[in-house]
Chains A and B, each alone.
Chain A
Amino acid sequence: MTTRDLIEETQVALAANKVRSGLTMLGIIIGIASVIALTAVGQGAQNSISNSINSLGSNLLEVLPGAARTIGFGASSGRGTAQSLTPGDEAAIASVPNVAAVSGEYSGRYQVTVAGANTNTTVDGVDAAYAAIRNINMAQGSFIADSQSLSLSKVAVIGSTVASDLFGVNATSTNLIGQNVRINNMQFTIIGLMATKGGSGFGNQDNEVFIPLKTALQYFAGNGNQFLSTIDIQATSQASMTQVQNDVTTLLLQRHNISDSTKADFSILNQQDLVSTASSVTGTFTTLLAAVAGISLIVGGIGIMNMMLTTVTERMREIGLRKAIGATSKDVHTQFLAEATALTFIGGVIGVVLGWGASYLVSLSGLVAAQVTTSSVLLAFGVSAAIGIIFGWYPARRAAYLNPIDALRYE
């Protein structure tokens, strides 16, 4: 019996009971399609989280006041509430090797008003370097300059959401430079409008107002208060991030006179850690989705086994006749195995196409840019073929080792 004969026989056998073949395949189709689609969604979520972390800036380290905190869970005293970081710390960090840029931050939520409109938003005092560290692009005007910080100028750079909240939906297309806003009842002049970043995930810069750091400390921090809420550091390269983190830690411990590093009154958040933590979370999530889909695949496989067993019983006399005219046990075994494998393979192909389609629809809906990976497609194919062989094996074996005369006489 040649492979071509085998294919012909399989075709005839499956076509003889189209509805049943179709329903059996449906189990595999749904299983494979859900594996493909769910892993694609998981992968998409992972990509989008990594992207949004990376859009915060590149090679970023953040020094936060307060006790060391674990990423994810673990209680933290809210950012800015602990008071341990000073502008002096910021200046000292700037001379650590491989530090490309440093910017202190002093932030709080304040009422921002213009005639006829107001909004409550984050007002962030920063240095000029902040724009480079956080990848800020300007739509109008320019970002804060160091000279404006030194002169305690009351100037503000606003995000696009703030702009439309204050000046109406079309605000970004009108010239806002030179307009006045009141922040916490103090008058500021707008010197820049940031390009829309598209907000998702961690802190939406579109809904922020930036003012010079020294101005913020002077007018908002209260009497002589010189504590920062964050220090942002950009390392020169990804490779130097760990070194910078270690050096800054040592430096700050020294400056704060702390000898036991576990008692540090600050913590350093490494962007790379954030990315890998987030990836491991979404990775677990993806695995979970795949496992759920995998269960449906197993159910589909059992469906195949069930159908093949029914088929063997129904075709008992046919098997006897085939053996009488010369089919060996191996011929019969191969034939039934081929039928089961064909079902799962065709189901697998349809499932991949459907899964791909579903991922495409999810992407179109804008929820998440689902990404079908080659490995998930290969895995799906492999698994479906394996299911055919595994779940087809037992029924095929039963058919193959029937005594021909018992099979012929079966009723």
Chain B
Amino acid sequence: MIDLTHITKTYTSGADAYAALKDVSFSIDEGAFVAIMGPSGSGKSTLMHILGCLDTPTTGTYRLDGKDVSAMNDDELAGIRKNKIGFVFQAFNLLPRTTVLRNVVLPLVYANVPRNERAERAKKALIAAGLTEEHFGHLSNQISGGQIQRVAIARALVNDPALILADEPTGNLDSRTSLVVLGTLQALNREHGRTIVLITHETDIAEHANRIIRLKDGAVVADEQNVQPRDAAKEAALYV
């Protein structure tokens, strides 16, 4: 599904150039659950933005479902983001002055989902992400950091995208809620065949994926299968 060959990303500001990604190549199959690990500043978010068609690589090719993304125009890219990809960002995830429910409804609005289906689907996604009805009407500045992250996950799920890109989705969550979120992602992966790319710097979290790619200073330093991924649902059950 995802095919990266010799991807580099160089940020230039004036005379200075900074290589955030240096010759990154790998493929991700449809239905995979991949964790991307690496220390802070190693280029994980940069990579995710490229995977999500939000940013373009400086050199190299990125093929998504066999199609060269760099050859696509603005509208085609927007179409991919709308129909194929669900994002959870590391920071600034929700629209300000907007209710939790409206935040999750919005991708459906842009995807032209009929009005009467929207609220239903948004509520299902919110409940799947572990939120309760009482928060649906809250504004984005009236909920906790962990809740914001979960609303972002609900929003990424709501349109049933084939690919979910999550940048530190459990960064602000306690371990029990982290497991709920991971469980949701694992279920989506196993039961619905969704491809998931999870960015984290915690080994505990990464071990829930089937494959772990390690980045360091903008380059891939390890890429291994995780034969026995941890099962978030079972772990969560122990918390009772």
Give per-residue flags for B17-55: 1 if the beta carbon is below 8 A from chain A beta carbons, else 0: 000000000000000000000000000000001001011
B-binding segment of A28-36, A68-76, A316-324, A387-395: A316-324
- Contact A325–B98 (Cβ < 8 Å): no
Kindly provide the distance from the CB of B141 to the nearest chain A CB, expressed in whole angstroms: 12
- Contact A326–B115 (Cβ < 8 Å): no
Kindly provide the distance from the CB of B112 to the nearest chain A CB, expressed in whole angstroms: 7
- Contact B98–A324 (Cβ < 8 Å): no
Write out the residue numbers on chain B whose beta carbons fall within 8 Å of the beta carbon of A321.
89, 92-95
- Contact B92–A317 (Cβ < 8 Å): yes
Write out the residue numbers on chain B whose beta carbons fall within 8 Å of the beta carbon of A326.
78-79, 81-83, 107, 110-111, 159
- Of all chain B residues, the one with the shortest Cβ separation from A317 is B92
Q: A321-B93, A324-B87, A325-B81 are in contact. Are A405 and B111 (CB under 8 A)?
A: no
B224 within 8 A of A: no
B208 within 8 A of A: no
**What range describes how many residues of A lie at the interface?**
20 to 34
B143 within 8 A of A: no
- Contact A331–B75 (Cβ < 8 Å): no
A223 within 8 A of B: no
- Contact A1–B110 (Cβ < 8 Å): yes
Write out the residue numbers on chain B whose beta carbons fall within 8 Å of the beta carbon of A16.
97
Contact of B110 (CB < 8 Å), options: A317, A331, A404: A331
B150 within 8 A of A: no
Instruction: Give the CA-CA distance A323 to B87 in the complex, in Å.
Output: 11
- Of all chain A residues, the one with the shortest Cβ separation from B46 is A405
If over half of A's interface residues share one DSSP class (helix, strand or loop), that class is named, otherwise mixed; here it is helix
Interface-centre pick from B107, B109, B159 (highest chain A CB count, 10 A): B109
- Of all chain B residues, the one with the shortest Cβ separation from A403 is B55
- Contact B97–A323 (Cβ < 8 Å): no
Residues of chain B from 86 to 115 with CB closer than 8 A to chain A in the complex? 87, 89, 92-98, 102, 106-107, 109-112, 115
Kindly provide the distance from the CB of B11 to the nearest chain A CB, expressed in whole angstroms: 11
B123 within 8 A of A: no
Q: A321-B92, A322-B95, A331-B110 are in contact. Are A404 and B83 (CB under 8 A)?
A: no
B74 within 8 A of A: yes
- Contact A12–B112 (Cβ < 8 Å): no
Instruction: Give the CA-CA distance A4 to B116 in the complex, in Å.
Output: 13
- Contact B92–A408 (Cβ < 8 Å): yes
Q: A325-B81, A329-B78 are in contact. Are A12 and B93 (CB under 8 A)?
A: no
- Contact A323–B81 (Cβ < 8 Å): yes
Instruction: Give the CA-CA distance A404 to B55 in the complex, in Å.
Output: 8
- Of all chain A residues, the one with the shortest Cβ separation from B80 is A326
Instruction: Give the CA-CA distance A362 to B79 in the complex, in Å.
Output: 57
Instruction: Give the CA-CA distance A2 to B105 in the complex, in Å.
Output: 14
A152 within 8 A of B: no
Give per-residue flags for A11-34: 1 if the beta carbon is below 8 A from chain B beta carbons, else 0: 010001000000000000000000
Write out the residue numbers on chain A whose beta carbons fall within 8 Å of the beta carbon of B93.
321
A327 within 8 A of B: yes
A260 within 8 A of B: no
Instruction: Give the CA-CA distance A327 to B111 in the complex, in Å.
Output: 8
Kindly provide the distance from the CB of A35 to the nearest chain B CB, expressed in whole angstroms: 34
- Contact A327–B92 (Cβ < 8 Å): no
- Contact A325–B110 (Cβ < 8 Å): yes
- Contact B54–A408 (Cβ < 8 Å): yes
B214 within 8 A of A: no
- Contact B115–A323 (Cβ < 8 Å): no
B194 within 8 A of A: no
- Contact B78–A327 (Cβ < 8 Å): yes
Instruction: Give the CA-CA distance A408 to B109 in the complex, in Å.
Output: 20
B155 within 8 A of A: yes
- Contact B52–A5 (Cβ < 8 Å): no
Instruction: Give the CA-CA distance A74 to B54 in the complex, in Å.
Output: 75
Write out the residue numbers on chain A whose beta carbons fall within 8 Å of the beta carbon of B98.
12
- Contact A325–B82 (Cβ < 8 Å): yes
A261 within 8 A of B: no
Write out the residue numbers on chain A whose beta carbons fall within 8 Å of the beta carbon of B96.
318
Kindly provide the distance from the CB of B76 to the nearest chain A CB, expressed in whole angstroms: 10
- Contact B55–A405 (Cβ < 8 Å): yes
Kindly provide the distance from the CB of A338 to the nearest chain B CB, expressed in whole angstroms: 14
Write out the residue numbers on chain B whose beta carbons fall within 8 Å of the beta carbon of A331.
110
Write out the residue numbers on chain B whose beta carbons fall within 8 Å of the beta carbon of A164.
none
Kindly provide the distance from the CB of A67 to the nearest chain B CB, expressed in whole angstroms: 77
Write out the residue numbers on chain B whose beta carbons fall within 8 Å of the beta carbon of A408.
54, 89, 92
Interface-centre pick from A2, A317, A408 (highest chain B CB count, 10 A): A408
Q: A1-B109, A1-B112 are in contact. Are A324 and B92 (CB under 8 A)?
A: no
- Contact B95–A318 (Cβ < 8 Å): yes
Instruction: Give the CA-CA distance A403 to B56 in the complex, in Å.
Output: 10
A175 within 8 A of B: no
- Contact B112–A325 (Cβ < 8 Å): no
List 14 other contacts, CB 8 Å, given A325-B81, A325-B107, A326-B107: A1-B110, A12-B98, A318-B96, A321-B93, A323-B54, A324-B52, A324-B54, A325-B110, A326-B78, A328-B79, A328-B110, A329-B74, A329-B75, A408-B54
Question: Could you list 23 examples of A-B contacts with CB < 8 Å?
Answer: A1-B112, A317-B92, A318-B95, A318-B96, A321-B93, A322-B95, A322-B110, A323-B54, A324-B54, A324-B81, A325-B81, A325-B82, A325-B87, A326-B78, A326-B81, A326-B159, A327-B110, A328-B74, A328-B75, A330-B75, A331-B110, A404-B54, A408-B92
A-B pairs with the 3 shortest C-beta distances?
Answer: A326-B82, A326-B110, A328-B78
What is the interface of chain A, defined by CB distance below 8 A to chain B? 1-2, 4-5, 12, 16, 317-318, 321-331, 403-405, 408
